[in-house]
Chains A and B, each alone.
Chain A
């Protein structure tokens, strides 16, 4: 069965420092990977995704993630974080179902806390 593991439940980091949020997946078929960000009492916002092509994907606000097939990872990185990056981050894999639709399997989330 496919699964997504986010090993770090909380990551505290000082402002302007780099950060890496880890995500590992298990899947025996083609994978489509996503990172979402959730601010308090809000829905999820798509940060970036890997469907195919270049293994390094970037968001407009400075985050990037690299799909590593051999290590089954899709870690999220940012070279310099801001206070406003404080949020919950979810990694997800989209899996195909017999009904013809796709279903997300989410990780348990990582709470990024940026300290002044």
Chain B
């Protein structure tokens, strides 16, 4: 249980174009989804947190106009990298948590397989 998928797994785009990455919870309703960025051989950096039906909360230093996050349903969140540039090339990972009775679900995050973005 608690499977999270991401699509696409990798994408190559030209500088200046926009790229959308989807994150889906396959067997549970994700009340909260998280988007991370990971540079080679480094830890994960939290970009933003989104709750279904409300605006995402961005971490300090993350440009909300550049990284658009939508969490329209309990099973889908999208990250759109607008006007992508080579410095946006990275590994993007989403995760999800849910909110059953009790706090265990809200505390634990389940991660997707990641999307590797390369901007030429």
Interface residues of A (CB under 8 A from B): 32, 34, 36, 41-46, 49, 51, 90, 94, 99, 101-104, 106-109, 111
Q: Is the CB of A43 within 8 A of B107?
A: no
Within residues 76 to 120 of chain B, which ones have a CB less than 8 A from any CB in chain A?
91, 93, 95, 97, 104, 106-114, 116
Collect the chain A residues with CB atoms within 8 Å of residue B109's CB. Answer: 94, 104
B49 interfacial contact with A, CB 8 Å: yes
Q: Is the CB of A41 within 8 A of B108?
A: no
User: How many interface residues does B have (CB within 8 Å)?
Assistant: 27
Collect the chain B residues with CB atoms within 8 Å of residue A46's CB. Answer: 108, 110-111
Q: Is the CB of B93 within 8 A of A44?
A: yes
Q: How far apart are B103's CB and chain A's nearest CB, in angstroms?
A: 8
Q: Is the CB of B43 within 8 A of A102?
A: no
CB-contact partner of A102 in B41, B93, B107, B110, under 8 A: B107
Q: Is the CB of B107 within 8 A of A106?
A: no
Q: Is the CB of B49 within 8 A of A43?
A: no
CB-contact partner of B44 in A34, A99, A106, under 8 A: A106
**Which residue on chain B has the smallest CB distance to residue A109?**
B43
Q: How far apart are B3's CB and chain A's nearest CB, in angstroms?
A: 11
Q: How many inter-chain contacts with C-beta < 8 Å in the A-B complex?
A: 58
CB-contact partner of B43 in A45, A99, A103, A107, under 8 A: A107
Of the A-B pairs whose beta carbons lie under 8 Å apart in the complex, a sample of 11, sorted by A's number, is A42-B113, A44-B93, A45-B111, A51-B104, A99-B49, A103-B46, A103-B49, A107-B43, A108-B42, A109-B42, A109-B43
Q: What string of 1s and 0s marks CB contacts (under 8 Å) between B34-46 and chain A?
A: 1000000111101
Collect the chain B residues with CB atoms within 8 Å of residue A42's CB. Answer: 113-114
Collect the chain B residues with CB atoms within 8 Å of residue A34's CB. Answer: 108
Q: Is the CB of A94 within 8 A of B42?
A: no
A106 vs B34: C-alpha distance in the bound complex, in angstroms? Answer: 14
Q: Is the CB of A41 within 8 A of B116?
A: yes
Q: Is the CB of B106 within 8 A of A102?
A: yes
A111 vs B42: C-alpha distance in the bound complex, in angstroms? Answer: 10
Most buried by A among B43, B51, B57, B112: B43
